[in-house]
Amino acid sequence: MRVVFLGTGSSLGTPMIGCTCRVCTSNDSRDKRLRTSVYIESRGERILIDPGPDFRAQCLHHGIRQIDSFLITHPHRDHIGGLDDTRAVYYAMNKRPLQFFAEDFTLEGIHKYYDYLFPADGNRRYHGAPGAVFHRVEAFRPFGTMKNEVVPFRAWHGSMPVTGFRIGRLVYLTDVKEVPAETAELIRPDDVLVLGALQRELHAIHFNLDEALDFVEKVNPARTYLTHIGHRMGKHADLEAQLPENIRPAYDGLVIEI
């Protein structure tokens, strides 16, 4: 399995508009963070988790032309803001219907915000709308994409549920503040965990750094990559130096093999 971190930033990205902090003005390319998303190649299938508002730029930068399956964690705009640009993927794939996998609460948000593209009744109202198939998934009930088995997990983003995903040994959990015991118990010692950690200070609906590290110690995966990192976390190089070897801050463009 090949995993490409397309974006590792928070909802406002880094640098943040109007900010002149040492992170937003850093010359280190690892401190330039687009909104959080990953691209996965597994068993000959191309999977993208969360087409956020930087989706077009991310696909162009990494030469991504086709996506077989879209997995979506929750309906916040920094995770679905690129849905309009999935039209280009539809055209690049010779109008093969796009395959979306998400829970009901996420699908409701998609149909609400993008009703001109994906109306809930399925009737196309816009001539440029892509063909799409929406697969309703349920936490803890495994489902199949084109070539992979995926296990959706439950986590909580404040009062909003959020969906985590397991694909093989990869476990993806972002935008979390609380992870139920039944999810934590499913993380294995040989897993590679991608985990959201927003900043060092406490936050109402996100893990801060200490909470993320406590969770990693509890579930003890083989490797962990932190993502959804905001500018208040500090510079990438400083964070990397402070973390144990098995926990790394991800950065845009990082590629890992599992």
Q: Which pLDDT does position 124 carry in this prediction?
A: 79
125 pLDDT above the threshold of 90:
no
Q: Stretch 176-185: mean pLDDT, rounded?
A: 98
Number of domains within the chain: 1
Nearest to 71 by CA among 173, 2, 156: 173
145 pLDDT above the threshold of 90:
yes
Q: Which amino acid is at 142?
A: P
The arrangement of strands across the sheet holding 69-71 comes to 132-136, 98-102, 69-71, 45-49, 37-42, 2-7, 255-257
Q: Which pLDDT does position 165 carry in this prediction?
A: 98
Q: Stretch 67-80: mean pLDDT, rounded?
A: 98
Q: Which pLDDT does position 122 carry in this prediction?
A: 84
Q: Stretch 102-128: mean pLDDT, rounded?
A: 93
Interval 8-60: pLDDT, tens = 999 999 999 999 999 999 999 999 999 999 999 999 999 999 999 999 999 99
Q: Cβ(83)–Cβ(117) under 8 Å?
A: yes
The CA radius of gyration of the chain, in Å to the nearest whole number, is: 17
223 pLDDT above the threshold of 90:
yes
Query: Is residue 127 very low, low, confident or very high in pLDDT (cuts 50, 70, 90)?
Result: confident
Question: Which structural domain range is residue 137 located in?
Answer: 2-257
Cis peptide before 53 (omega within 30 of 0): no
Q: Which pLDDT does position 41 carry in this prediction?
A: 98
Tokens of 73: 């964690």
> In the chain, pLDDT over 90 holds for what percent of residues?
97
Q: What are phi and psi of 212, to 5 degrees?
A: -65, -45
Q: Which pLDDT does position 134 carry in this prediction?
A: 97
Q: Stretch 94-122: mean pLDDT, rounded?
A: 96
Surface-to-core class of residue 139, CB atoms within 10 Å of its CB (0-12 exposed, 13-18 middle, 19+ buried): middle
Average model confidence (pLDDT) for the chain?
Answer: 97
Interval 198-220: pLDDT, tens = 999 999 999 999 999 999 999 99
CATH number at residue 91: 3.60.15.10
Q: Stretch 233-241: mean pLDDT, rounded?
A: 98
